[in-house]
């Protein structure tokens, strides 16, 4: 059940359960009352509710309900055709820190960094199909490898695993992680930090094997463009370009860029554990819906703009930032459409607008990565009304 108590939302009131859930799915970044007014106007309703009533009502909904909705989008992405790499589904596991509203009880609950309440988020991300399959939000003290095991268990239970290849950064290698991959028939490629294992550090050949615990592990040394050297460990036996393969992991960094800067996941609309986790999983759900819409719009762009090599100087892609805004405007209209034909018409219009909002793909463009000083960019007690 999505309600925290079976008695909640049983009386007919101004704020029905279904309407409240649809409102939250739209992603709330303004003050609640302004956002709710705009939402009801959009769907043709005339309802006025005070902010306190909205806050109290949403806290009666289990955050797990939105987590379950999100998980369904992850599973649904693999009911049809999807991209693979040499027969493998290609995953990345990565964690991040999320700045929370600046309230002491959130610091007590989740932890803090540099005096600011902060939690840990982690995702299992499909690098080829742009889908977040599993996501976790926990206190900052939670170890990333603990969350990685949860992701892999989710893949084993919900993902109908076949050939699964998981790429991860240098915070993940451990004897326990290697044991887990081997025992469950999963493939891995991990960047190893210095002093993770002395035998790994001592290896001179660019491609060789060492024993870590009870497993024989392949060690690959790659030379970076900066002339430095990185060490990768894997249980893959094929002759792949491992430098190119490892750098496919960059896709999960781009996903965090979308979550943080396009969808503004740190711009939380509530101050309680329930609302923080609601927002977290609603953003993950929205990210997957955005990815699905992106593929639809991409087909239009490829057909109309990229099919003729002589027509344009560059190939074009859908503008993710504008696509997110379009999705936010049209998603609820599509969900609340009274007929299937009307819903399809709305979705078709949405994809058309996304396809018209494109940007050129400039090859070999390098954008310097900005350091994060962990200062929240959103004023949680001053919500915008724009």
- The pLDDT tens digits for 194-230 are 989 999 999 989 999 999 999 999 999 998 877 688 9
For residue 385, what pLDDT is reported?
A: 41
Q: Quick one: what percent of the chain has pLDDT higher than 90?
A: 62
Claim to verify: residue 96 and residue 220 sit in the same structural domain: yes
57 has which bridge partners? none
Instruction: Tell me if 46 is assigned to some domain.
Output: yes
Claim to verify: residue 239 and residue 273 sit in the same structural domain: no
Residues spanned by the domain of 314: 264-361
pTM of the entire predicted model: 0.90
Instruction: Tell me if 386 is assigned to some domain.
Output: no
For residue 325, what pLDDT is reported?
A: 87
Domain boundary among 199, 226, 255: 255
Q: What SS3 class is residue 259?
A: helix
Give the CA count within 13 Å in the CB-facing half-sphere of 35.
19
Tens digits of residue pLDDT in 261-284 = 999 999 999 999 999 999 999 999
Claim to verify: residue 251 and residue 310 sit in the same structural domain: no
Instruction: Tell me if 379 is assigned to some domain.
Output: no
Paired tokens of 326: 């379009």
Paired tokens of 345: 């018409």
Instruction: Tell me if 160 is assigned to some domain.
Output: yes
Instruction: Tell me if 2 is assigned to some domain.
Output: no
Paired tokens of 379: 């004023």
Structural domains of the chain, count: 3
Give the CA count within 13 Å in the CB-facing half-sphere of 272.
12
Instruction: Tell me if 376 is assigned to some domain.
Output: no
Domain boundary among 216, 238, 255: 255
Q: Exposed, middle or buried, 240 (CB in 10 Å: 0-12/13-18/19+)? A: middle
Higher pLDDT, 357 or 242: 242
Domain boundary among 199, 234, 255: 255
CA separation for the pair 271, 148 (Å, rounded)? 27
Claim to verify: residue 116 and residue 39 sit in the same structural domain: no
What is the domain-level CATH number for residue 227?
A: 3.90.350.10
For residue 301, what pLDDT is reported?
A: 87
CA separation for the pair 310, 356 (Å, rounded)? 20
Phi and psi torsions of 239, nearest 5°: -95, 90
């Amino acid at each position: 059940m999505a309600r925290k108590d079976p008695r909640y939302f049983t009386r007919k009131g101004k704020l029905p359960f279904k309407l409240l859930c649809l409102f939250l799915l739209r992603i709330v970044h303004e003050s609640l009352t302004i956002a709710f007014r705009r939402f009801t106007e959009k769907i043709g309703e005339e309802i006025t509710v005070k902010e306190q009533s909205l806050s109290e009502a949403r806290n009666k909904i289990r955050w797990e309900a939105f987590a379950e909705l999100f998980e369904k989008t992850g599973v649904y992405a693999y009911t049809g055709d999807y991209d693979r790499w040499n027969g493998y589904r290609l995953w990345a596991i990565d964690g991040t820190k999320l700045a929370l509203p600046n309230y002491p009880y959130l610091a007590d609950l989740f932890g803090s960094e540099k005096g600011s309440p902060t939690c840990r988020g982690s995702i299992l991300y499909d690098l080829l199909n742009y889908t977040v399959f599993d996501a976790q939000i926990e206190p900052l003290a939670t170890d990333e490898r603990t969350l990685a095991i949860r992701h892999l268990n989710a893949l084993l239970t919900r993902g109908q695993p076949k050939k699964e290849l998981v790429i991860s950064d240098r915070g993940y290698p451990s004897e326990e992680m290697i044991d887990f991959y081997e025992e469950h028939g999963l493939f891995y490629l991990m960047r190893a930090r210095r002093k993770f294992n002395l035998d790994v550090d001592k290896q001179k050949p660019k491609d060789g094997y060492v024993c870590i615990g009870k497993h024989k592990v392949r060690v690959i040394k790659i030379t970076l463009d900066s002339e430095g050297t990185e060490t990768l460990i894997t249980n893959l036996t094929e002759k792949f370009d491992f430098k190119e393969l490892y750098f496919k992991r960059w896709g999960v960094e781009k996903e965090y860029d979308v979550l943080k800067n396009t969808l503004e996941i740190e711009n939380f609309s509530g101050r309680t554990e329930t609302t923080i986790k609601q927002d977290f999983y609603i953003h993950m759900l929205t990210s997957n819906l955005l990815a699905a819409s992106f593929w639809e719009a991409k087909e239009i762009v490829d057909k109309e703009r990229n099919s003729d090599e002589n027509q344009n100087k560059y190939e074009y892609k859908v503008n993710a930032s504008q696509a997110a805004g379009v999705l936010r405007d049209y998603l609820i209209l599509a969900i609340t459409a009274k007929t299937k034909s009307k819903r399809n018409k709305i979705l078709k219009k949405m994809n058309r607008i996304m396809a018209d909002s494109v940007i050129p793909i400039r090859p070999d463009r390098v954008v310097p990565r900005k350091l994060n000083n962990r200062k929240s960019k959103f004023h949680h007690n001053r919500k915008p009304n724009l």
